[in-house]
């Protein structure tokens, strides 16, 4: 039995009855078992998954399997509840209770026909850009198992990149979908704040008035698969995003702003490694080849952003309920940032939230001059597993910001963004870029991702600059060489 390589191909084969849900689940469970070395899964719910698969096969006999994700295996990050499975939040400091009910996102995908194989590895409380904790072995990058797959959706990304899953739902509060996608050579969509209904269950702001950062989105091996899962996550009828990707070839004439500016540059050095710069230039060239106009975007970010973001990013730690004596079980970074969050006054938290709201409005205004904004993805190859945890907390955080200085600003603005691989290095590692869209522009971003992925030549050298964009300008140069 040959399982189709793409999620879309698998879904269609399941609908046609060419493969049963049980066969699909068994095949992917076998892959999970074979690649335990990747640390992608924290919990595997094989028995429950097979029971769901049998039920799906019985339903198909009655309904022709018309659910959008009928029988397709997925998994969920170990930050949300899946009925019957323990939720660890990646932390040894909190009880690992077995969930009695599904998270709304989980129940929605279950109704769409998807079958959960278990829970994937995350960092403690989803805080970091790497997926290591004190609960289970670290997640590892299938492209180089000595390196991190990123975070906080590192387990999900590792599973998708290694074909343990056809695709996976994930979440992104500062880059947690896009960072692992870029690290593992995947397409990762961070939708806008209002795109997935379950994301707004607790409102659009945190208790201190800062913009809500975390949204749910897909990780996939190509844009069509990402679109299929995104449509299911938002409960869309007629699969509008997937249909848009199928029409991607005809998309042309957009105005794209290209920028390597980062709001973190006021606090940390933002230096593009040669392979990151090359990926950015390849993306510029690819967009020009598709008939889009690519202009240097002169974007000026508020220098107070790094401090305001750090305060709001960690404010939730002050509200964590940690049992007496369990603080010592927190990771060093979590413990240090929780202590700082507890030491701040409500006024300080609210002031940070106010600064982020102002930043969001200003950034959206500047980006709004373009149909989409192109930025680099990650500044360098993924660090080795253990590189972050081996550092003092402040140095750990600094390295995260230096590695991924382009993602969190989009969460603050509440806008959609997509990470797409455009370059494969001789080592097998991938490098990619980010595209930021306008509100409601997820389908357009997926179309652009499809165009870039289709046009990526993994072996050619960096292209010559073309009319409309000069890669000798500062915005396309390596900040380390300025």
> 74: part of which helix (H) or strand (E)?
strand 73-77
Tokens of 449: 């991702």
Query: Could you give the maximum distance between any two Cα atoms of the chain, in Å?
Result: 66
Question: Which residue out of 91, 116, 131, 152 is catalytically annotated?
Answer: 152
Nearest to 159 by CA among 311, 13, 326, 29: 29
Q: Is 152 a catalytic residue?
A: yes
Q: Is 176 a catalytic residue?
A: yes
**Distance (Å, whole) CA 264 – CA 355:** 15
Tell me the angle at which helices 104-111 and 223-233 cross, rounded to the nearest 10 degrees: 110
**Distance (Å, whole) CA 477 – CA 471:** 7
> 76: part of which helix (H) or strand (E)?
strand 73-77
Q: Give the distance, in angstroms, between the CA of residue 59 and the centroid of all CA atoms in the same chain.
A: 32
Question: Which residue out of 91, 116, 171, 176 is catalytically annotated?
Answer: 176
The answer to whether the Cα torsion of 212, 213, 218, 223 is positive or negative is: positive
Question: Which residue out of 77, 91, 259, 408 is catalytically annotated?
Answer: 77
Cα–Cα distances in Å, from 143 out to 161, 178, 282?
Answer: 8, 16, 21
Q: What is the CA radius of gyration of the chain?
A: 21
**Distance (Å, whole) CA 315 – CA 419:** 27
Tell me which DSSP letter residue 211 carries: B
Strand segments (E) across 84-194: 115-120, 167-172, 187-190
Contact in structure between 252 and 463 (CB atoms under 8 Å): no
Q: Is 212 a catalytic residue?
A: no
**Distance (Å, whole) CA 65 – CA 102:** 23
The residues annotated with a catalytic role in the active site are: 77, 152, 176
């Amino acid at each position: 039995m040959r399982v189709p390589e793409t999620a879309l191909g698998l879904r269609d084969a399941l609908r046609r009855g060419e493969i049963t849900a049980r066969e699909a689940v068994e095949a992917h469970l076998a892959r999970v078992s074979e690649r335990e070395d990747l640390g992608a899964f924290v919990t595997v719910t094989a028995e429950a998954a097979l029971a769901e698969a049998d039920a799906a096969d019985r339903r198909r006999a009655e309904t022709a399997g018309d659910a959008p994700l009928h029988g397709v295996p997925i998994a969920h990050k170990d930050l949300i509840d899946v009925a019957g499975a323990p939720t660890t939040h990646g932390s040894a400091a909190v009880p690992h209770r077995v969930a009695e009910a599904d998270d709304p996102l989980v129940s929605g995908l279950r109704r769409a026909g998807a079958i959960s194989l278990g829970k994937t590895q995350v960092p403690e409380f989803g805080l970091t850009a790497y997926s290591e904790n004190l609960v289970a072995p670290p997640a590892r990058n299938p492209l180089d198992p000595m390196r991190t797959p990123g975070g906080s959706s590192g387990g999900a990304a590792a599973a998708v990149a290694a074909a343990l899953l056809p695709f996976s739902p994930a979440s992104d509060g500062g880059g947690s979908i896009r960072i692992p996608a870029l690290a593992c050579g995947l397409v990762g969509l961070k939708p806008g704040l209002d795109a997935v209904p379950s994301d707004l269950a607790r409102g659009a702001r945190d208790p201190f008035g800062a913009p809500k950062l975390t949204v749910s989105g897909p990780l996939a091996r190509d844009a069509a698969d990402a679109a299929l899962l995104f449509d299911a996550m938002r409960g869309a009828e007629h699969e509008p995003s997937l249909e848009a990707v199928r029409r991607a070839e005809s998309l042309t004439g957009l105005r794209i702003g290209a920028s390597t500016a980062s709001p973190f540059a006021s606090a940390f050095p933002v230096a593009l490694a040669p392979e990151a710069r090359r990926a950015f230039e390849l993306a510029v060239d690819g967009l020009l080849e598709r008939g889009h106009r690519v202009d240097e975007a002169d974007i000026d970010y508020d220098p107070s952003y790094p401090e305001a973001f750090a305060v709001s990013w960690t404010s939730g730690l002050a509200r964590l309920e940690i049992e007496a004596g369990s603080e010592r079980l927190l990771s060093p970074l979590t413990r240090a940032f929780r202590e700082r969050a507890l030491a701040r006054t409500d006024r300080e938290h609210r002031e940070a939230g106010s600064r982020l709201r102002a930043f969001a409005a200003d950034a959206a205004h500047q980006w709004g001059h373009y149909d989409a904004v192109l930025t680099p993805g990650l500044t360098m190859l993924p660090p080795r597993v253990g590189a972050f945890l081996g550092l003092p907390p402040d140095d750990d955080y600094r390295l995260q910001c230096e590695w991924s200085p382009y993602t969190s600003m989009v969460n603050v603005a509440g806008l959609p963004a997509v990470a797409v691989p455009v370059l494969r290095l001789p080592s097998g590692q991938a490098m990619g870029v980010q595209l930021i869209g306008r509100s409601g522009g997820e389908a357009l971003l997926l179309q652009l991702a499809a165009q870039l992925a289709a046009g990526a030549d993994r072996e050619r050298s960096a292209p010559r600059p073309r009319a409309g964009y000069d890669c000798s300008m500062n915005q396309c140069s390596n900040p380390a060489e300025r």
